[in-house]
Amino acid sequence: MSPPSSLDASFVFVENHRPRSTSPLAKVQSTSFKKEQTQAFHPSKDLSYWPGSTPSYAHDWSPQATGGGLKIAGRHFVDGYGRVCSLRGVNLSGSCKTPVDHDHNNFPGDHRTVTFVGRPFPLEEAHEHFSRLRRWGLTFIRFLVTWEAVEHEGPGIYDLDYLAYIRSLLGLLPQYGLTAFVSLHQDVWSRYCGGSGAPAWTLECVGFDLHAIEDAGAAWLHGQRGGGHVEAERGLWPCGYQKLSAATMATLFWAGDIFAPKLLVKNQRNQDVPIQQFLQGAFLDMWAVVAQAVGDLDGVLGFQIMNEPHRGYINVPSLHSFDYNTDLHLSHVPSAFESFQLGAGHPTLVSTWTRSFPMPTKHTSHTLLNTSKTKAWRPDGPTQGRCLWEYHDVWRWNNVTDKAVPLRENYFRQHPDSGRKIEWYTDLYFPFAKRWAERVRNVSSDSKLVFLEPIPNEFAPDSWTEERRPSNMVFAPHWYDLNSLFNKAFGNFSVNVQGLSRGMFPLKAFYWGQKGARENFTLQIRNIVENGYRSLGEMPVIIGECGIPMDMNKGEAFKTGNFIYQMRMMDAMLTALEKALIGFTLWNYNPYNNDERGDDWNGENFSWFSRQRASPPAELSFEQTSAGLDEGARILPAIVRPYPAKTAGIPLRFDYEMSKGSLTFEWANPEEAGSGAAISAPGSSSVFDPPRVLQYPLRSRETEIFMPAQLTRSRTVVVGGLKKGDRWFHDAEKQTVFIVTQDTTPGVKHKIVIFVLPSPRPAFVVNDVWSDYGLYIRSSMIILLAIAFYFLRSV
């Protein structure tokens, strides 16, 4: 790829302000919805309206179906008619972490000539995949883009073919009722640190040798070479955050001005600039390119600055340890001080951690690493081969004693010059997030939502105050069951690792059976959501990533074809999300998944769809009711579930029991502002007690509930609990139950039950301790009482 021509000049950004010009990438026509097409009121406001009379369906987020689009109102998404919208969908896709021409055997190879065109799938396959997601009701997309995909060739050289590709792909979304937010994905900084995200040149510019960092203990790269599947490698890649290359890059990106002021690099004008300015400037320029390329599309709801941000060494408890509660400790985990020594070419004894119970891991031994004395730093780099942190006098090597000596123990906890304590969120993340939000909105639209998340495994920080965060923000944390994720196992026994890491009494953290797993996951997700409301106030919460390992229990299901435990775990997770009344995007829908390599990235296997298992597209029908689209998927009864997509009121409670195919939904008509009693108290964070006032007036009486054809096929749908004058209609082709309520009095509650006849055959038993062991427990108690009574009589 050659440098941009004059035609592409609008994509070579240097300054902070960008014109709202039309992108030269506009190879597809804009699908912008004409404002004059919107209606002030939904047709259902007419008392003669019959349910389902509009062309819309429940899970359709196109402007036509939502009265002009989605916006934020307190903790809710609402459509143009003031209805509260529940968004659920998928991450598209895990395949986006690696280029189309990723070569396991030749990694890192020629990193400047890779291509991501065709990730997540080729444009010609879009009809198949979007039709499938529409059938499943998973029409909210977290669309993954990496920095490397946009700017792999070098600073300021953008892959226009890739940008044109994602514009064409995202331009198709409204045709299928889909909407998306574009998420800049990263894990462990970059593929060249063992994860995904940033281009290789970001590491090269600070002096890292891509061909030496693994031998020097600065990264674990075997997963990028196709590994990560065997027991010894399982789950190692997240430990890369604590290794030298990723931790250094994150530190320089967020706080290079503070902690590495002597590191200057050449910018595109051949000027020496501080490393933080260089990296953040390049990042913002790249983001402006992406936002300009797709920001005018109706299918793009907003943007997410960065997946799972990490602070690197900033706020590390000490040079000699990391925080066990936020940073995974498994296998060889060098401290910051030890990582400096390893990278400088000194063999170093490093703590080794192994799996344990009830906490995930424990320290069991030490291992001598880098016996080859390999240096991670290039001799022709900006530090002339010296460790960057030795270059900044954080440590030095004592040639007399032949040992490393720490010089500044609190270097990453406070400002090296002033001694002022550095707080990552307040001092670094928030200011940059606001700059980023202004930048992307400047080249797209002020109406775009921005999605932000905290560091993994952390709750929303209290310091994330309104004046510090961007406007129009959505809180988008991640949640995984860390015990099952880490052990790749699920059964009747589950553990609340979130609670244990925060001091929960161990016996309270253990659960039994499917009921127990549901309760466990419900508590964990509710903690995240309610903590978000407490810290951030009334703001929408979306779980941006949640999922289950398909290769759990040693991949037994791939041999037997019985995915019962995957089904149970997915049900427990989605039940918990439904009880919290929040939306989510599942990790992940990956057409390239297969049983042998999984998602083909660091041994992960999370996609419950594999095109390898499906019929060729030529043999498929693409209507919503086409069962052929289900081929290639697993555990769909647990994933494809009914849900209230558009509610003419405020949702109060939603429960779906997949073993019976029945749902219970309760909602309330909005209160008039200032009416008092029924309104939640200010600051209420409960998921069970949402505020009863909406920012926008409700202009619809029709509630639309997604009712999957997979559940209703050859069955009768029954709706109970309706009041006098209420009407409903089930449209099988639209997979929607339409409900129009008669009583619109503020504060009035509605409660319905929907079920199918005949009931589906249960996929599993919803068991608990009493159902499994109740007879034994009762028998034991009777025997003990009898013995006690006998001895009392004897006395």
Measure CA of the first residue to CA of the last residue in the chain; give whole Å.
95
- The answer for residues whose C-beta is within 8 angstroms of residue 711's C-beta and 6 or more apart is 637, 640, 642, 661, 756, 760
Kindly state whether residues 612 and 655 are assigned to the same domain: no
Q: How far is CA 68 from CA 50, 54, 420, 442, in A?
A: 22, 15, 49, 21
Kindly state whether residues 604 and 665 are assigned to the same domain: no
Q: Is residue 784 part of a domain?
A: no
Kindly state whether residues 648 and 635 are assigned to the same domain: no
> What would the mean pLDDT of 218-243 be, rounded to a whole number?
94
* Residue 316 scores a pLDDT above 50: yes
Kindly state whether residues 624 and 646 are assigned to the same domain: no
Q: Is residue 4 part of a domain?
A: no
* Residue 340 scores a pLDDT above 50: yes
Kindly state whether residues 613 and 533 are assigned to the same domain: yes
Mind telling me the catalytic residues?
308, 545
What is the total residue count of the chain? 795
Res 168: pLDDT: 98
3-state SS, residue 116: coil
Q: Is residue 219 part of a domain?
A: no
Kindly state whether residues 54 and 101 are assigned to the same domain: no
Kindly state whether residues 502 and 651 are assigned to the same domain: no
Last residue of a domain, one of 591, 610, 639: 639
The secondary structure of 483-541 as a DSSP string is HHHHHT--SSEEE-HHHHTTT--GGGGEEEHHHHHHHHHHHHHHHHHHHHHHHH-S--B
Res 685: pLDDT: 87
Amino acid at the residue 233: E
pTM over 0.75: yes
* Spatial contact of 472 and 448, defined as CB atoms under 8 Å apart: yes
Q: Is residue 111 part of a domain?
A: yes
Task: Band the pLDDT of 544: cuts 50, 70, 90.
Answer: very high
Res 21: pLDDT: 33
pLDDT tens readout for residues 257-270: 999 999 999 888 88
Res 539: pLDDT: 95
* Spatial contact of 620 and 684, defined as CB atoms under 8 Å apart: no
> What would the mean pLDDT of 360-364 be, rounded to a whole number?
91
* Residue 9 scores a pLDDT above 80: no
> What would the mean pLDDT of 435-445 be, rounded to a whole number?
96
Q: Is residue 183 part of a domain?
A: yes
Residues of the domain holding 667: 43-83+642-757
Kindly state whether residues 629 and 646 are assigned to the same domain: no
DSSP-based helix, strand, coil % in the chain, nearest 5: 30, 20, 50
Kindly state whether residues 65 and 105 are assigned to the same domain: no
Tell the burial category of 794 from Cβ atoms under 10 Å away from its Cβ (0-12, 13-18, 19+). Answer: exposed
Res 677: pLDDT: 41
* Residue 729 scores a pLDDT above 80: yes
Task: Band the pLDDT of 795: cuts 50, 70, 90.
Answer: low
pLDDT tens readout for residues 504-538: 988 899 999 999 999 999 999 999 999 999 999 99
Res 357: pLDDT: 81
Report the CATH number at residue 543: 3.20.20.80
pLDDT tens readout for residues 454-497: 998 889 999 988 888 999 999 999 999 999 998 999 999 999 99
Q: Is residue 742 part of a domain?
A: yes
* Residue 83 scores a pLDDT above 50: yes
Q: Burial letters for 89-126: b for 16+ Cβ neighbours within 10 Å, e otherwise?
A: bbbbbbbbbbbeebeeeebbbebeebbbbbbbbeeeeb
Last residue of a domain, one of 639, 665, 695: 639
Last residue of a domain, one of 579, 611, 639: 639
Mean pLDDT in the chain? 91
Kindly state whether residues 583 and 685 are assigned to the same domain: no
pLDDT tens readout for residues 749-790: 999 999 999 999 999 999 998 998 888 777 878 888 878 777
Count up the domains in the chain and report the number.
2
Q: Is residue 518 part of a domain?
A: yes
Res 674: pLDDT: 57
Kindly state whether residues 602 and 741 are assigned to the same domain: no
Percent of the chain topping pLDDT 70: 94
Percent of the chain topping pLDDT 90: 82
Q: Which of 280, 281, 282, 263 has the alpha carbon at shortest distance from 272?
A: 263
Q: Which of 108, 87, 47, 132 has the alpha carbon at shortest distance from 613?
A: 132
3-state SS, residue 757: strand
Res 39: pLDDT: 60
Report the CATH number at residue 709: 2.60.40.1180
Kindly state whether residues 623 and 703 are assigned to the same domain: no
* Residue 682 scores a pLDDT above 50: no
Q: Is residue 281 part of a domain?
A: yes
